[in-house]
Amino acid sequence: MTQQNKQKCGIISLMGEPNVGKSTLVNQIIGTKISIVTHKAQTTRTRVRGIKVNKNTQLILVDTPGIFVPKRRLDRAMVSAAWSGFKEADIILFMLDVTRGFSDGARKILQFMIDKPKCDSPVLLLLNKIDRVKRQDLLSLTEKVNTEFSFNKTFMISAEKGSGVSDLLKWLTVNVPFSPWLYPADQLADLPLKGFAAEVTREKLLKRLHQEIPYQLTVEPDVWVEMSDKSIKIHQLIYVSNKRHKAMILGRNGETIKAVSIAARKELKETLNKEIHLFLQIKVRNNWQNEPLRFSNMGLSFID
């Protein structure tokens, strides 16, 4: 067997409801932040691939949008992206937030998986946030969920604290197929730096804004210039649906957008190890959620 044939590579897709900890787990396994995390549901909009190399094995972890009942075109595109991740996976990780229990939403996702054409990929049950419930409740939940779906294995983890993650990583490394690697050994994510920087800014906006506003905005890269002194000049566009939202993002005397810019610039400087000059511009586009280009720039399909 040649050295190349000894390599192993697998696509691992994370499935589940919004905000159960999928992005946190991907960041934990990769060892760095490649997917934004907030306490708000539906933070992840498109599929983000994190890449973990463990000896001769390359694991491609696909952080998919949470699956929920879609109400708008953007919702439908996000759910479609999640199910696309289900179809392409060598191994599927179905994650539950144990503090919610076996919710109706989780049960509907499992039923959809059961109703899908036969899937030969192993499906693992991940019970997340185990540090927040009693052990007896964990065992009861495990039994209940496993009666509804024949999981290949169950892992009890805390994605935030890392508990149980090493055991999961070992299992994935052993069970992915022999295959040439799909990415260079030193690559951590399949996401252009421009896109990552825009996501960092969107994360800072999500953390400062409330109620409906986060779902009425998107952030896109505009200008990216590497200066002679090795610093990077970044211009980004924030699209919102109406003038009221623009005013709220600006804040009194521009305080909110200034705070967002400072927080995003600080994180990008730490991540890229370079000085960052970040410029944010807000544009009002009443119908941006129905513009094909906006979807394309998010990596989503425009769905009627």
Cβ(7)–Cβ(180) below 8 Å = yes
**Among 22, 77, 78, residue whose Cα is nearest residue 50:** 22
Give the residue, 255 or 215, on which the prediction is more confident.
Answer: 255
What is the per-residue pLDDT across 223-247, written as a single tens digit (0 to 9) for each?
Answer: 999 999 999 999 999 999 889 889 9
Residue 16 φ then ψ, to 5°:
155, 180
pLDDT given at position 181: 95
Is a pLDDT exceeding 70 seen at residue 281? yes
Residue 261: pLDDT band (50, 70, 90) is very high
Each residue's pLDDT tens digit, 246-256: 999 999 999 99
pTM confidence score: 0.78
Express each pLDDT in 26-65 by its tens digit.
Answer: 999 999 888 767 665 555 555 678 899 998 999 999 887 6
Residue 210 forms beta bridges with which residues? none
Q: Tell me: pLDDT of 1 over 90.
A: no
Domain made up of 193-298: CATH architecture: 2-Layer Sandwich (3.30)
Query: Could you tell me which CATH class the domain 3-175 is placed in?
Result: alpha beta
What pLDDT band is residue 196 in, cutting at 50, 70 and 90?
Answer: confident
pLDDT, residue 155, reads 97
pLDDT, residue 66, reads: 54
Per-residue pLDDT reduced to its tens digit, 66-123: 554 445 655 555 555 555 656 678 999 999 999 999 998 888 888 877 776 556 789 9
- Does residue 38 sit in helix, strand or coil? coil
Closest CA to 119 of 146, 150, 87: 87
In the prediction, which pLDDT does 68 show? 44
What pLDDT score was predicted for residue 111? 81
Model pLDDT, residue 129: 96
Residues of the chain with CATH 3.30.300.20: 193-298
Residues of the chain with CATH 3.40.50.300: 3-175
Contact 28, 16 (CB under 8 A): no
Q: What is the pLDDT of residues 108-159, one digit of tens each?
A: 888 877 776 556 789 999 999 999 999 999 999 999 999 988 899 999 999 9
- DSSP letters, 144-210, are HHHTTS--SEEEEEBTTTTBTHHHHHHHHHHHSPB---SS-TT--BSS-HHHHHHHHHHHHHHHH--
